[in-house]
């Protein structure tokens, strides 16, 4: 990518401090800037509390959207702000959702109350989070392999296509747990994921107009963090 790189450091639905530290490490490796401060209270909370407090992070993510920009963040909740902003700027855009999870629960289906597991459904208008929405048929699921029962029904009802978009501009959401956990450990690991080469080749095949990288959980060991950061940086087109 040859655009700007921004790390959104404010809280969205952070359950650990590792996601934010990983986002910052990746942004600095790519020569980017950090916006906001590390949340003082990472940890599980109900979705409505996180949604109420996520305003600064969402506004920073919205402001960071630009041509071929890279945004890094602790988790997927930034799509509440980035997806509608990208659609406004690029009306014919499609979205490639690289993720082990669909993040397509609603307040009625979620087994955990985790906002990060509900954000794409809100972005597609399946529940009202007070944000603008994007058409579900523009959002392509790539590498998704873990759906809760109610979430699966929501995905089917919304009609989200699977597989890479064919042609046209594409905005990429890259939750790095789309990779197999043997390739990159993650907070919510799901076996049977993609290899680094598969992700890299898939991204290289798309006309990418921007990308957001989420859920890069930073390990404590600095040498291991450097190794994983290089791996994730090497995925980007």
Alpha-carbon distances, residue 42 vs 13, 56, 176, 192 (angstroms): 8, 15, 20, 29
Pick one of 1.10.10.10, 3.30.70.890, 3.40.50.1820, 3.40.800.10 as the CATH number of 5-233. Answer: 3.40.800.10
Angle at 203 between CA 201 and CA 205, to 5 degrees: 70
**Two tokens, residue 209:** 């107009």
Q: pTM, whole model, 2 decimals?
A: 0.97
Angle at 172 between CA 112 and CA 73, to 5 degrees: 55
Q: Where are the domains of the chain?
A: 5-233
Q: What is the DSSP string of 27-84?
A: HHHTT-EEES---S--S---HHHHHHH-HHHHHHHHHH--TTEEEEESSGGGHHHHHH
Handedness of CA 200, 202, 205, 208 (dihedral sign): negative
Q: Are the CB atoms for 184 and 224 separated by under 8 Å? A: no
Among candidate residues 59, 9, 23, the one with its CA nearest the CA of residue 232? 23
- How does pLDDT run along the chain (237 residues), one tens digit per residue? 788 999 999 999 999 999 999 999 999 999 999 999 988 788 889 999 999 999 999 999 999 999 999 999 999 999 999 999 999 999 999 999 999 999 999 999 999 999 999 999 999 999 999 999 999 999 999 999 999 999 999 999 999 999 999 999 999 999 999 999 999 999 999 999 999 999 999 999 999 999 999 999 999 999 999 999 999 999 999
**Two tokens, residue 101:** 């999870």
Q: Are the CB atoms for 104 and 131 separated by under 8 Å? A: no
3-state secondary structure of 5: strand
């Amino acid at each position: 990518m040859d655009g700007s790189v921004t790390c959104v450091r404010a809280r969205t639905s952070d359950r650990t401090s590792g996601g934010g530290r990983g986002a910052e490490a990746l942004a600095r490796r790519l020569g980017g800037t950090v916006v906001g401060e590390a949340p003082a209270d990472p940890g599980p909370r109900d979705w409505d509390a996180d949604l109420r407090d996520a305003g600064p992070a969402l506004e920073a993510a919205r402001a960071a959207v630009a041509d071929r920009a890279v945004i890094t963040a602790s988790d997927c909740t930034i799509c509440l702000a980035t997806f509608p902003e990208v659609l406004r700027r690029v009306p014919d855009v499609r979205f490639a959702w690289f993720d082990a999870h669909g993040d397509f629960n609603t307040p009625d289906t979620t087994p955990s109350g985790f906002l990060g597991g509900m954000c794409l459904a809100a972005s597609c208008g399946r529940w009202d989070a007070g944000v603008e929405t994007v058409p579900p048929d523009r959002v392509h699921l790539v590498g998704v392999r873990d759906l809760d029962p109610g979430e699966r029904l929501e995905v089917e009802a919304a009609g989200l296509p699977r597989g890479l978009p064919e042609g046209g501009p594409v905005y990429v959401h890259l939750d790095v747990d789309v990779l197999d956990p043997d390739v990159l450990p993650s907070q919510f690991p799901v076996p049977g994921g993609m290899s680094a080469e598969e992700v890299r080749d898939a991204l290289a095949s798309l006309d990418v107009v921007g990308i957001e990288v989420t859920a890069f959980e930073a390990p404590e060991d600095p040498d291991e963090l450097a190794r994983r950061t290089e791996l994730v940086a090497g995925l980007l087109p």
